[in-house]
Amino acid sequence: MISVENLHVVFNPGTAIENHALRGVSLTIPTGAFVTVIGSNGAGKSTLLGALSGEAAPTQGRIRIEDQEVTFQPVHKRAKLAARVFQDPLAGTCATLSIEENMALALKRGGRRGFGKAVREERRALFRERLKPLGLGLENRLGDRIGLLSGGQRQAVSLVMATLAPSRILLLDEHTAALDPRMAKFVLELTRDVVAQYGLTTLMVTHSMADALAHGSRTIMLHQGRIALDVADPERQSMTIGDLLEMFSKVRGEEIRDDKLLLS
């Protein structure tokens, strides 16, 4: 479960470039729910995810993950509770390490890292077993440097890595935005499978209204640091992008003017 109460995040407070990115966001995501988050540039989508993961420090409010108060916990401490996949495929993996070494790093997420050998035969078997369903042939390339893989392949491995260590929460920060359409579709389908298989509580930030409506069971729209819309199934099931826009202009009294949001 994720619970956010009256969350404010201000970047560079007291300076000329002060940016009030989140202005009182409250949100409860029950265990096992898959929530998609949309919003135009600067709406606060990534900041919300950053606050949940610990990269953006709140100036007000509180955050609880799985009944633990994490509001001011550093990133590495709360990593045990929530796995993440970044927008940039390069960000989620270590380019100079091999596929199996990256997976071994992820296997120990939130755990103690001892001096025992990281890539053992039984772990290798596990990595192979988890990579095989991707259908990318990566299970035969365990020793290859992960820097040699394409962005989409790295994102797919990142998703698998997110499920290696036990945690119930998955944070996805526009994780298909940097991929070509075919690979983006593949990674989105993989996301759906992984979330279903492990019953993960998931927050997926996306730039695409179509993707937001097509995945999960609830969609939240952020606007200027606040939650503008919050729709859930079954109401959401029959909604189109047009319906969403209409609802938005009714609630906010204004129209959305972000081509990227509308077109993608």
Partner 1 sequence: MTFFNLINAYAFWGAIELGLIFGLVGLGVFLTFRALDFPDLTVDGGFPLGAGVAAVLILGGWNPWLACLAALGAGALAGLATGVLAIRFGVLHILASILTMIALFSINIRVMGAPNLSLLGQETIVTPFAQMGLSGLYARPLAVGLVVLLVTGLLTLLFVSDFGLALRATGVNARMLRAQGADSRAYTYFGLALSNGLVALAGALFAQTSGFADVTSGAGTIVFGLAAVVLGETFFRSGRIWVVLTACVLGSIIYRLALAVAMQNLGSVGLQASDLNLITALIVAAALIAPKIRAEMRQRAARKGAAS
Please report, as ranges, the residues that interact with partner 1 according to CB under 8 A.
53, 74-77, 79-80, 84, 86, 90-98, 101, 104-106, 108-111, 113-119, 143, 145, 165
- Sign for the CA dihedral angle at 211, 215, 217, 223 comes to negative
The residue among 119 and 241 lying less far from partner 1, judged by its C-beta, is: 119
CB of 59 vs partner 1, minimal distance in Å: 21
Nearest to 80 by CA among 102, 50, 113, 109: 109
CB of 93 vs partner 1, minimal distance in Å: 6
CB of 161 vs partner 1, minimal distance in Å: 8
The residue among 105 and 134 lying less far from partner 1, judged by its C-beta, is: 105
CB of 99 vs partner 1, minimal distance in Å: 11
Answer whether 164's CB lies under 8 Å from 99's CB.
no
The residue among 92 and 216 lying less far from partner 1, judged by its C-beta, is: 92
Answer whether 102's CB lies under 8 Å from 93's CB.
yes
Nearest to 227 by CA among 203, 257, 252: 252
Beta 19-29 vs 68-69: how paired, if at all?
A: unpaired
The residue among 174 and 228 lying less far from partner 1, judged by its C-beta, is: 174
- In this structure, what is the dihedral angle of CA atoms 219, 221, 222, 224, given to the nearest 10 degrees? 180
- In this structure, what is the dihedral angle of CA atoms 77, 80, 82, 86, given to the nearest 10 degrees? 70
Cis bond leading into 13, ω under 30°? Answer: no
Looking at residue 37, its amino acid is V
CB of 204 vs partner 1, minimal distance in Å: 16
CB of 209 vs partner 1, minimal distance in Å: 27
The residue among 80 and 192 lying less far from partner 1, judged by its C-beta, is: 80
The residue among 40 and 102 lying less far from partner 1, judged by its C-beta, is: 102
